[in-house]
Amino acid sequence: MTVLLVDQDSLAHARFAVSPMVDAAAALMLLSGGDQRYPTTRRWVERHRERFAAMTADPVRAGLVELLGTTVWLPDFMTPPPTCNDMRFGDEVARVARTDCQRATADLRAAGAPALLVERDDIAQRVAELLGDVWRAFVKPEWRERRAVLERDVATRSNLLASRGWAHALDGLNPAVQWLGVGRLQVNRCDYPVQDVRGAQLLLTPCSFGSSWLCLNPPDAYVIAYPAFGLGNPTDPETDGGLDRLIGRTRARLLRALTTPATTTDLAAQLQLGVGTVGDHLRVLRDAGVVVRVRTGRRVLYRRTARGDALTTPANDQPDRQHRSTAETS
């Protein structure tokens, strides 16, 4: 497992931030054959597989695809720590392109890259070009909706951090992330040396593709990328037709989007609907008992009830109450 050594000062300065590059890198890894654990992610990859194959036909890009589809360690220079919470993709990809050749080569070797990649003087530029193409073709067209998901996650976790502390802010971040006590934070189950983060910037960045990894930029900064709340909801046009027919497509989309509490404005931006339209449908869903409204500070949030959760769970994913296996209950 990988453990970070932290202290009160490093936790006090740690922050949640949105990074377009994290989503671009995750998209590249998924299209290269990475972990596709979510059904919406698998369908997303299938829609773009043919275009991505044409985009990565040359030997260098094909080598990168093979590496990213098999490595358990993403080359660190591909996701530089964001310097603020409003980074533009162009600024982030320019930092990747400017990576020193020696640093890029070392990171690629650590990930198990073949000689075809590590012996090139321009490999950082080639990686940046591929990331840019993936961003423009596959992520940017969906960025408004994906960014809304990410910003909701950051707002939710920041509120938890302010009101209840790090233990609650980290809850559900990733099954592998655990607070071990005595200044030790486990961030994954990879066999990697302990990292001393004391005195460095610790950043936590949500990913709308459900990917997670640790990016090292010692001694300055460390990035923990993790699956965002509500990932995969509005960006995939394929929906559960049964629920759509039962309560209507817009109400079904709203109900599915509420995997984490959200305001009317959040939902309107995420689903590209008018605020008034969202409000009208939420009132109907409240009357039906599938959502409730709660106030957190100045924000009025909507969340699903147990009845709403049951409606959004596909029938074939609901456990048989009479025959639940050990795996389902463990």
Q: What is the pLDDT of residues 256-312, one digit of tens each?
A: 888 778 888 878 877 778 888 999 999 999 999 999 998 766 778 898 998 888 888
**pLDDT > 90? residue 30:** yes
- Mean per-residue pLDDT of the chain: 83
**pLDDT > 50? residue 329:** no
Q: Which domains does the chain have, with CATH numbers?
A: 16-145 (no CATH), 241-317 (1.10.10.10)
**pLDDT > 70? residue 94:** yes
Q: How far is residue 288's CA from residue 293's CA, in Å, rounded to a whole number?
A: 13
Residue 207 phi/psi, 5-degree rounding, is -125, 125
**Mean pLDDT (whole number) for 243-265:** 85
- Positive or negative CA dihedral for 223, 225, 229, 233? positive
**pLDDT > 70 in the chain, percent:** 88
pLDDT, tens only, 190-226: 777 888 888 888 888 999 888 888 888 877 888 889 8
Residues with Cβ < 8 Å from 243, sequence gap 6 or more?
252, 255, 256, 311, 312
Judged by DSSP in three states, 260 sits in coil
Q: Are 196 and 8 in contact (CB under 8 A)?
A: no
- pLDDT bucket at 97, cuts 50 / 70 / 90: very high
pLDDT of residue 74: 87
Q: How far is residue 46's CA from residue 135's CA, in Å, rounded to a whole number?
A: 17
Q: How far is residue 2's CA from residue 86's CA, in Å, rounded to a whole number?
A: 29
pLDDT of residue 37: 61
pLDDT of residue 99: 95
Q: In the chain, where do the E strands start and end?
A: 2-5, 15-16, 178-181, 184-188, 195-196, 201-207, 213-217, 221-227, 291-296, 299-304
pLDDT of residue 265: 81
**pLDDT > 90? residue 10:** no
**Mean pLDDT (whole number) for 18-36:** 89
Q: Which residue has the higher pLDDT, 83 or 255?
A: 255
**pLDDT > 90? residue 20:** yes
- Positive or negative CA dihedral for 137, 141, 145, 148? positive
Q: Which two tokens stand for residue 144?
A: 């408004």
**Mean pLDDT (whole number) for 12-41:** 85
**pLDDT > 60? residue 328:** no
pLDDT, tens only, 119-141: 999 999 999 999 999 999 999 99
